[in-house]
Each structure stands twice: as structure tokens, then as C-alpha cells.
Structure 1
Amino acid sequence: MDKKLFMVSLGPGDIDLVTIKALKALKSCDAICVPTKSEDRSFKKSLTHKIVSALMNEHNFNKPLIPIYTPMQYNKEDWQYQVDCIYDGFKTYDTLSFVTLGDSAIYSTIYYLLDIIKVQNPSLYAVTEVIAGVTSFSQASAKVKKPLCVGESALEIIPLPKRDLPKTKVYMRPKIGMDTESIKEEGEMYTFENLNFKDESIVPQKKEVVSKYMTLFIDFFK
């Protein structure tokens, strides 16, 4: 059987905020890779383990759990170790899920791992699926019934301590027929149209004119 890897976002901690797609991936996979901060590979310091365990109890399924030591020191040796753990998992299982808190697009380790997998194992990278999740700040906004952005306002995500950093820019709510010349490309620009619909289009460049109502531009940092 062909190998398959899911990178599954678990959301901000409430199991009711785990997406249906994430739950389907966890139920369908052969085993789940669960990060832990404990050097002994126990789950006593693992919030992701608490969430996964609660999900399995709530939805009546059970999967083997593979502990992945993640010391949160952000160095290549740690990322390579975590990738090696995934490779080891595939010696026994055909389909794996690797879980991460929040939404994988926001400060998640998984993209460091995917960068390594892309170089070392392009065929696995090609069949890897990243599943989005609810962010902590989306839930925080909902808790206090206040929007993050509305009308003509904008949203900034600022890591602390604040310093000059490369930025990903999201351009949304363009009008049909709009000329995009004013959108300056600084990184890797993508145009997304009608995401999740039959005529979905993802183009690795900026379209010159907006032609679809549901159009999103993302200029990813390099």
C-alpha cells in the first residue's frame, strides 16, 4: 500500500473545535505521531496527547500513539530527529497522522519538517496532506464577541518580542475587475480562487486582474 502522511491541526485545545476533516484523518490513519516535551518520550508534558486522548474517548476510536520528542529549541538536528521518527513509523504503518496545536500555518514546527521531507523524500512529500485548524486568536475573538477585523479594518499578527522580521502578507476582499498592479510582490505570491469549490484554482503567481468573487492573494515570506 502507498504511504500517506497527514499533518493535522488540532485547534486551540477544545476538542469541539477540531475540524471534521482532522477527525476523519485521525480515524482513518494507522497511527498518530504525538509531540511531547518529555525527554523520556512520555506524554506527561504533552498537551497534544491530552487532546488526542480526549478525541479518541469522545468519538470511540483508538490508535497506536508514536511519541515524538520536541524540545522546542528550533534547530535542524531536532527537526531531522522528528522526521526520522516519522520515517521509522512508516516501517510499521502505511498511513500516519502528525498532530500540531492550533493551525499549522501559524508558527508550527510541521513546515520545518516538511522542508526536510521535500528534499529527502519527494514522493512522500507529494502525498502529504496538511489539514488546517482553528487558531487561538480566532477562538479568543469569539469568546469576547469581538471581531479581529471588520469593514475597512486590517489584522496584524505580531510575534513578541517585536523586531524586524520577514512577513507573509494576505490580500483579501478584492473587487472583480480590480487591477492588481498595486499589490507588490516581495516573497512568493500565490492567487487562490474559489477555494474548496469545483472550480478551485491555485496559481503560483499574482493574477493581473481579479476575475472571481472569492479571490485571495498570499505573498509568502522567503
Structure 2
Amino acid sequence: MKNTEKTGILYGIGVGPGDPELVTLKAVRIVGECDTVILPAKSKEDCIAYGIMKEACGKIAEKELICMPFPMTKDESRLTAAHEQIYLGIKKLLDNGRQVAFLTIGDPTVYSTYQYIHKRVVKGGYEAHIVNGVPSFCAAAGALGISLADNKEEIHVIPASYEIGKTAEFSGTRIYMKSGKKLGELKQMLQKQQKDSRLEVYSVENCGMMNEKITTEVEKLDDTSGYLTIVIVKEH
């Protein structure tokens, strides 16, 4: 049950994969109406989501900007402590009646750190809304000019920063999100699988950004590619 005395509202805003023209009209409107914008980074210069939104909504530069970085770790205790600290910071803003926008790349419902905060805010009795953005894997398929699935084909969206070994057994289309550090392992797995199966392998790094890089062969997958690399595998 929501506490009606808490007038602040939190908006989790997806800014899409990188192209400012893919930021939704709704996202631009809400950022323009909010008092405070949360950036999940150490500085606005380090925040990819801010750079994207600034191109789409110039008003963001006039807003109160608060940086709340998330630790890049899999240590559950550190993550929980960080999420709680960020929540408490946002809670103070909501208690003061602030309308708060929390920016995230891609879509807030797909492997987004925003969800850890959203759940706490809702549990605390505050009002929170999700503003969807274009998912990066959809934009990547568009950049490649391919379909992710046809007819009865399945789609599997996989967080590549975790265990990927068993995913070779999945049929249909496999989408490996945030593949950067695992590209070497993923490349070896796909090369081995390609000996027995007919695969189409694509990768898009920094989709929609000025430094976007597209690869269409498994042998050309670059082990040094960055965190924002998507690998799409279609098996026939």
C-alpha cells in the first residue's frame, strides 16, 4: 500500500542502446518534468546514459544531477550494501517531494541495475514507474538488418558475464548480452559448435554510438571488445 504522504515519484527511464534518436518521446518529456536526475556513474562524463539523453533532451543539463555509481562486482554483500545506500539516497529525495528520473541504458526491465532500486522503492511505499527504452538487442538486429526470430524459432537472451557453457544446447536464436569479458570463451565455444552445426554469428559493439562496430563472422570476434557488446547466434 502506498503512503500518500510521500509525494515524490521515481521514474526508471530507459534511454535505449546509444542512438539519441531512439530515445522515446515519453522519456524526453518525463526527464524535462523531473526535478532531479540520478546517474548510475561516478560522474556525468562517465555516464553513457547521460550522454545519450543529453543529445535527446537538452533540458537535462539544467536539472539537479546526482551521481550514484554501482560497484562492478558479483560480491552479493557488496552489491546489497550499495543498493541499500543508493535506495536511501533516493528515499530522501522522495521524502522531500522530488520527482526523480533514474537513467539506464537499454530498457529498465532487461538486466538493469535499476530494478534493484525500483523494488526497494515500491516496497517502501513510494510511487515508481518504468519508462521503457529500445532494447539493445533489438537495435543490434536492426543495425545488422536481420530478424531475431521467424515462425516457431525461439529466442534466448543470455547474460554473457555469467556461465555460458550450457547455452550451446539452446535451439533457435541466442543473444549474449554484455559479452565483453567473455568473448574469448564464447568465441571458442562457437568455433567448436560450428564444426557440427550451421551457425550465423554476429556481434555489435556500442550499438547506435559513434564507435559502433559490427562483425559478421565468428573468427572475427574481437576478444578485446568492450562491455557493451552483443553477440547474436542463429542456428539452422
Place the TM-score, normalised by the shorter chain, in its bin.
0.5 to 0.7
- SS of the aligned residue for 2:156 comes to coil
**8 A contact 1:35–1:67 mirrored in 2:** yes
Q: Which runs of 5+ in 2 are unaligned?
A: 1-5, 168-236
Q: TM-score normalised to the size of structure 1?
A: 0.63
More helix by share: 2
Give per-residue Cα distances to partners, 1:8-63, cap 9 Å, x unaligned. 11110111111111111111111111110x3xxx3232212212322233x78732
Identity of paired residues, percent?
24
Pairing of 1:37-186 with structure 2 (within 5 A):
38=42, 42-57=43-58, 62-73=62-73, 75-90=79-94, 92-119=96-123, 121-122=124-125, 124=126, 127-160=127-160, 161-162=163-164
Q: What is the CA distance between 1:84 and its match in structure 2?
A: 1.6
> Quick check: 2:12–2:103 contact (8 Å CA) kept in 1?
yes
Q: Say if 2:8 and 2:93, in contact at 8 Å, map to a contact too.
A: no
Distance in 2, matches of 1:2 and 1:90, equals 7
CA RMSD, aligned part only? 2.3
Tell me the TM-score normalised to structure 2 length: 0.60
Contact conserved, 1:18 with 1:134, CA < 8 A, in 2? yes
Secondary structure, in 3 states, of the residue corresponding to 2:112? coil
The alpha carbon displacement at 1:80 in A equals 0.8
**4+ runs of 1 displaced by more than 4 Å?**
none
1:164, CA displacement in angstroms?
A: 7.0
1-structure distance, mates of 2:60, 2:83: 32
One-letter amino acid of the counterpart of residue 149, structure 1: A
Aligned counterparts of 1:52 and 1:62: Cα–Cα separation in 2: 13
Q: How many residues align?
A: 156
